Amino acid sequence: MSVRCYIGLGSNQAEPAEQIRRACAALAALPHTRLSACSRLYSSAPMGPQDQPAYINAVALLTTDLPALALLDELQRIELEQGRQRKAERWGPRTLDLDILLYGDQQIRVERLEVPHYHMHARAFVLYPLAELEPDLILPDGSALQTWLANCPAEGLQPLADQRAQG
């Protein structure tokens, strides 16, 4: 059974905009999955240590037959193929970060995966690109994306003029 899911994309190393575009191409090539849409690219300040470059972020909409953990495995494979090195430093610089934000209307809490994604309600670099794709989205807990947006100012978030994550 196909599930609509949203993937957050972020990069601040090794040509970040190109990393995001390559990741979207890789998402489009996933088995049993269709890439339906990608948001514009957005620039945002890093969440953790500020002595690193700004991030480029986007959100992609997929329709997939992959179970959530199989999709997570595929996302981590794409990250590794694009040079991601997992380090102990939280919120440090990275070539690519792919996160399952929403997986249908499911709420998932297992050791490897939490969906909806942890703290997405407070992350402008997730909410604004997500709203670009589906402004009237109702989240798994029944709340409206517009409510989350109203409580999450876009401070420092800048859309990159006419640059999309996908071709």
- Residues 108-167 have pLDDT tens digits of 999 999 999 988 999 999 999 999 999 999 999 999 999 999 999 998 899 997 666 665
Predicted pLDDT of residue 166: 66
Annotated active-site positions, please? Answer: 84, 94, 97, 99
For 10-51, write each residue's pLDDT tens digit. Answer: 999 989 999 999 999 999 999 999 999 999 999 999 887 777
pTM value is 0.93
CA dist 59 → 20, 24, 89, 140 (Å): 10, 9, 24, 18
Q: 95 CB contacts (<8 Å, ≥6 apart)?
A: 11, 13, 14, 19, 79, 82, 83, 84, 85
Given 3.40.228.10, 1.10.10.10, 3.30.70.560, 3.60.15.10, which CATH number is that of 3-164? 3.30.70.560
| Degrees, nearest 5: CA angle 42-44-47 | 140
Nearest CA to 160 out of 17, 9, 52, 6 is that of: 17
